[in-house]
Structures are given as structure tokens and as C-alpha cells.
Chains A and B, each alone.
Chain A
Amino acid sequence: MAYGLSVKNNSGEVLIDSDFNHYHFVQTLTHSSVTRVPELIDGPTGSYDQAPSSPNNLDSDQPRGNIYKFIFGSNGAKPPMCFIKPSATGSSAPYASIVLTTQVGTNWEIWVLQTYGASAPTLYCFSPIDQISASTSGTTYGFQTFNSSGDTTFDSRLKPLRVIDSIITTSPSLANTGSSNVGGETNINLSVNVTPNSYTISNAPSDSSDIIYYCPSIAHCCQDKRAYREDDGFQAAGNNSYFFAWARADLWWTFYRGAYRVGANSKFQSSYEGYASGHVWDTDEETSSVFVSIAALALGQWQLAIALAVGASAFTNAAVASGSYYPYENDSRNEGQSNPAIISRASFYT
């Protein structure tokens, strides 16, 4: 630089450069609303003589996290950095991640997906100083830098971002380690059971609840469980005796987003959290000697009916994008992409 100020540490890392607008603390945010993707369910619910008529809802092991919506007032094109302060840390802590950052009018809207049932997270939000109108409360103590246009680029009175560590993360390949084909089992498990990717946080405080992190979600995966049941035989009932045959196919799926937590021993952990879950089924039953439709089911034609049911399970007019959230089968996207996590401490900004 021909003029200005550049401050470096012993490692040659730039701490302050007057040419660039630094991120400064603006505010803590609590959520303005919370929602969940609706249950995606479809299938015949009639009664049958022999065929099972259940289960007809989501399994309790299909995760579907809360989506907390935050509104951040910052009129500028540069996105805010919103650090998540989780409601809990440790081996039972919920996973949470920012799944959407979008500009709405003069505000930014931030969505945080978090494991259902946990207390809401708090956001610590930072903006580049050229997008901050916060008051410095008239104090004249501190340190400022200016760029060549005379604009402030760093102001210690506005609590500049201080980082204790940054970690390059990736996401596991899949959220659930079980196989898709579950035979005739209807007590399925699509919970997040993969071993998370764990990273040591350098300079971590002894109180892990002080840790805040910025690591927006980019990875997602979609997995399903498929069950098929059938039977045939003769039902003795005097003059009303009959032959029967039935078949039922069930498909459960969960769409997961990459999510993070501060685990035990101050490890930063990368895994998934359920974003949307669905269950569709199709049942066919004949109480005569005609087995044509049952044979069709047994030959796999049920997949067509299931596919149609997946489409029918989609919803509209909810607080999230409509759709079936079944964009691909038993695979993931963006999981191998490097995703930097920036770690700081909440106590720096109180």
C-alpha cells in the first residue's frame, strides 16, 4: 500500500487494512417466527378386509427440524455475517445452520434450521462498516482507519469482528447409514445417525457456551426407506368365504441439510439435520380370484403409483418453498465442497 495502515501479527496475517471495510458487530437477534416444512403424506386411507391400513403418517424417526426466521435491518448489497450462538453445546446439542440468506427490501432475512425440540438459537450479526449506521454513543475513545476516500473502514467503538479460529469443513456423505430396502418392516429409521466430521477448535474458551460460529449450509442429502408387503389366501366364512390377495408398498423419505454444532470437548462438528420428511403408500386388495392388479404390484408396477403419490404429497401456500423435497434418491449434493467455519466468542460483543 502506498498510504494508509496495515497491521499484521507475528504470522504475517493482516489484522487491519485501511483499504477494506471490516465487519463490525451490529446486534444480537432473536427469531421473528418459526415454521416447519409440512408433513408430506399421501396414500389411500380406506379400510380393507385383509390388507394393512397403516402406518399412514410420518415415522417418529423421520427428523423435521424447526426453521427459525430472523430479520436483520442492513441496507446494503453485502450480506451480513450472522453467527449462530447455539442454545446448547456438547454431545447432545442440537445441530443448526443457516439455510437461507436473502435480501427482502431493505432487510436481510436469515433462516436457521435447527433440530426440533431444542431452544431457539440466537444470532450475532455483523456487517461491513459501510453498511452500518449504528451510533458510537459519542465516545471519543478508540481507534479508526480511513480509506483514500476518507470513509471509515475500521472503528474499535463498533466492536470489530474478532476470530478465534477458522476451520475448513466438509459434510458426511449421507445422514443415515441404513439401507433403503427394509423388506416388510414398517418401523423405519431415517434419523441422522452418521458419525459427524469433527474438528478441533483452536483457542476455544473453557466455557463452550461462549462459542459462536458462522458456517452457512451448502450440503444436502435425500434418503428413503422402501417397504413392501403382500399376502394371499382363503378366508373361510361359511357362505361368504372368499379368496383374497393384497399388496402394500410404503415409501418414506427425508431431505436433510448440512448442519453444525459445538460438540463435546469443544469440537466443531459437521453433520445434517432433517429439513423435510414424507411418507406415501399404495395398497391394492382383491377378494376374488382375479390377481391381475396384485401381480402388477408384485412385479414392481407399484413404483409408478408411488411416484404419483410423491407428487401428490407436495404442498403449496406454506412458509417455505413448495414441492415434495424428494429431488433425488439416496444421494447427496455439495457434501464434498469445502465450507469454512469462522469461530468467535459471544463475550467479545456484550
Chain B
Amino acid sequence: MSYGLEIFDSSGNETFSSTDTTWTLLGVYTSNANTSTNHANVPTMPTRIVSRLMVDQVAGDDEAFVHTFSLSGSTLTTTAPSSSETVKTVFMVFGK
């Protein structure tokens, strides 16, 4: 590369460079089952994505809705689509 940043290990193998992209973890937020929750103080970056994990096992007779969400500014708004069959959801907010 003619400009930028390259980082090598002691064997000369590249471990990271500015030609890579990555996602930095900005925060982890949990919304409990069947409950809508607003999460504040979410750090900002130019680009963010939200990955969801259904934390508990999907039970055999459960409709298992995942929380929906919107991310605006420093607030992550999460909504339980069902008041009885929305699973506990972990939100991982990444930025770059």
C-alpha cells in the first residue's frame, strides 16, 4: 500500500490494515421478553448496524417473535410485537 496504516506481527504477517473494514462494538443492550424498552446513551459513529440474538431457546410451542427496533441518535427503541410471545433479545450495536 502507498498510504495508510499496516500492522504486522513479529513474523511479518499483517494483522490489520486501513484497507480492512471492521465493526466496532458500541454497546450491548438487552430487552426482556414481552417488554418494549428504550435504551439511551448509545454511542454514535458514521455507520451503525444492529445485530439481534434471541437469547433463550425457542420453546417448542412459542411463536417466538423477536423485538423490532429503531436506532436514532443515541436512542435504541425496541418494541415487543407480542405481549406474550416475544423472546428476550440481545441487541449488539456496531459502528464504523
Give the distance in Å from the alpha carbon of A41 to the alpha carbon of B63 in the complex. 21
Q: CB-CB < 8 A to A157: which residues of B?
A: 9, 15
Interface size of B by CB at 8 A reads 46
**Does A20 interact with chain B (Cβ within 8 Å)?**
yes
> Which residues of B18-67 are within 8 A (CB) of A?
18-26, 28, 43, 45-47, 49-66
Q: CB-CB < 8 A to A75: which residues of B?
A: none
Q: CB-CB < 8 A to A276: which residues of B?
A: 60
B10 touches A14 (CB 8 A): no
> Which residues of A214-260 are within 8 A (CB) of B?
214, 216-218, 220, 257
A156 touches B61 (CB 8 A): no
On whether A166 and B23 interact (CB within 8 A), knowing A139-B9, A314-B60, the answer reads: yes
Give the distance in Å from the alpha carbon of A22 to the alpha carbon of B16 in the complex. 12
B22 touches A101 (CB 8 A): no
> Which residues of A1-28 are within 8 A (CB) of B?
7, 9, 12-17, 19-23
Shortest CB-to-CB span from A21 to chain B, Å, is: 6
A326 touches B52 (CB 8 A): no
A216 touches B53 (CB 8 A): yes
Q: CB-CB < 8 A to B95: which residues of A?
A: 14, 20
Give the distance in Å from the alpha carbon of A325 to the alpha carbon of B30 in the complex. 26
A128 touches B25 (CB 8 A): yes
Contact with B along A153-174 (1 / 0, CB 8 A): 0001101111110101000000
Give the distance in Å from the alpha carbon of A161 to the alpha carbon of B23 in the complex. 8
A162 touches B53 (CB 8 A): no
A216 touches B28 (CB 8 A): no
A321 touches B19 (CB 8 A): no
**Which residue of A102, A166, A217, A326 contacts B57 across the interface (Cβ within 8 Å)?**
A102
B9 touches A15 (CB 8 A): no
Q: CB-CB < 8 A to A101: which residues of B?
A: 53, 55, 90
**Which residue of B4, B7, B62, B63 contacts A156 across the interface (Cβ within 8 Å)?**
B7
On whether A323 and B60 interact (CB within 8 A), knowing A22-B22, A163-B21, A166-B49, the answer reads: yes
**Does A152 interact with chain B (Cβ within 8 Å)?**
no
On whether A13 and B21 interact (CB within 8 A), knowing A157-B9, A160-B16, the answer reads: yes
Give the distance in Å from the alpha carbon of A298 to the alpha carbon of B28 in the complex. 55
Give the distance in Å from the alpha carbon of A142 to the alpha carbon of B5 in the complex. 12
**Which residue of A15, A321, A324 contacts B96 across the interface (Cβ within 8 Å)?**
A15
Please report whether the interface of chain A is mostly helix, strand, loop or mixed according to DSSP.
loop
Q: CB-CB < 8 A to A48: which residues of B?
A: none
Give the distance in Å from the alpha carbon of A269 to the alpha carbon of B1 in the complex. 33
Give the distance in Å from the alpha carbon of A342 to the alpha carbon of B51 in the complex. 10
> Which residues of A298-350 are within 8 A (CB) of B?
314, 320-328, 333-334, 337, 339-340, 342
On whether A14 and B24 interact (CB within 8 A), knowing A139-B10, A166-B49, A333-B63, the answer reads: yes
Q: CB-CB < 8 A to B46: which residues of A?
A: 12-14
A160 touches B49 (CB 8 A): no
**Does A292 interact with chain B (Cβ within 8 Å)?**
no
Give the distance in Å from the alpha carbon of A214 to the alpha carbon of B20 in the complex. 17
Give the distance in Å from the alpha carbon of A159 to the alpha carbon of B14 in the complex. 9
A9 touches B10 (CB 8 A): no
Give the distance in Å from the alpha carbon of A214 to the alpha carbon of B52 in the complex. 11
What are 21 A-B contacts with C-beta separation under 8 Å?
A7-B18, A9-B18, A12-B46, A13-B46, A15-B5, A15-B22, A15-B96, A16-B24, A79-B53, A99-B58, A102-B57, A141-B8, A142-B10, A166-B49, A168-B49, A218-B66, A314-B60, A324-B60, A328-B63, A339-B51, A340-B50
Q: Beyond the given A21-B25, A78-B28, A216-B53, could you list 16 further A-B residue pairs with CB under 8 A, ordered by the A residue number?
A: A15-B21, A15-B96, A78-B25, A79-B92, A102-B55, A102-B57, A163-B23, A164-B21, A276-B60, A314-B61, A321-B59, A321-B60, A323-B62, A326-B61, A333-B65, A340-B51
Residues of B within 8 A of A (CB): 4-5, 7-10, 15-16, 18-26, 28, 43, 45-47, 49-66, 68, 90, 92, 94-96
